[in-house]
Amino acid sequence: MNIVVEHDECFSRTLKDEFGRPLRTRGEMLKKGGSRNVRASLSGRRNWQERYFSLDIDRGELRYFEDASMGAQKGLVQLTAETQIQRSAPNLKGKHGRGVEEQELHYFELTACKDDRGVLREGPFQVRARSAQELEEWQASIDFSLQLVRAAANQVAVDDLKPNAPLVAELAETLKRRSDSLAPPPCDSSKMIDTLP
């Protein structure tokens, strides 16, 4: 079944990158099979399969489906505060690697991420975008999602996050409420002793 997805449906209506461009939240990429369990995949073939991806930027979840109908979810990648995006070029074999120049691979991998069961993946999650532009769009979106995941994990001040001031303000307020509930009661300044000469 060939599902047509409007270009605008692949981008956030509210979230923007540091240049003011909408962040990509959906689209097709090639996914390397067998990345969930390295030991199990070493014995069998690990083919590249076309999958339709949906990124929940706020939750740090990259879901993938068989096609754009998004009927049956095939898997989930949960970003963690330790997740890294790496753009090393793999040594591809077969129809997806023969005669392809490194800069044409549009390859990246996510390390230190979890699967749909919340278990840390043993190996990297390997994907390839369809073009250099889509590669940059996916990386910008995942980078922003990682900033939110790390901010929530570390409860850091989120004023330094680059894109989308309204979302950053909302996240900052949530983190402030969370830290205020843990903070000691405020000090009464009228009872303070002046120690300066």
pLDDT at 197: 45
Whole-prediction pTM: 0.69
Q: Are 131 and 104 in contact (CB under 8 A)?
A: no
Domain containing 133 equals 7-182
Four-CA torsion 167, 170, 171, 176, nearest 10 degrees:
160
143 found inside a domain: yes
Number of domains in the chain: 1
68 found inside a domain: yes
pLDDT at 190: 47
CATH classification at residue 126: 2.30.29.30
Among residues 72, 33, 35, 27, which one has the least CA distance to residue 53?
A: 27
pLDDT at 90: 65
Taking only the tens place, the pLDDT of each residue in 5-14 is 566 789 999 9
Taking only the tens place, the pLDDT of each residue in 114-149 is 999 999 999 999 999 999 999 999 999 999 999 999
97 found inside a domain: yes
pLDDT at 48: 87
**What type of residue is 130?**
R
| Beta bridge partners of residue 22, listed in sequence order | 16
pLDDT at 169: 64
156 found inside a domain: yes
Which of the four pLDDT bands, split at 50, 70 and 90, describes residue 163? Answer: low
195 found inside a domain: no
Host H or E run for residue 147: helix 132-154
Residue with tokens 């996916």: 138
16 found inside a domain: yes
pLDDT at 196: 44
Host H or E run for residue 107: strand 107-111
Taking only the tens place, the pLDDT of each residue in 59-99 is 999 999 999 999 999 999 999 999 999 987 666 655 555 55
pLDDT at 189: 42
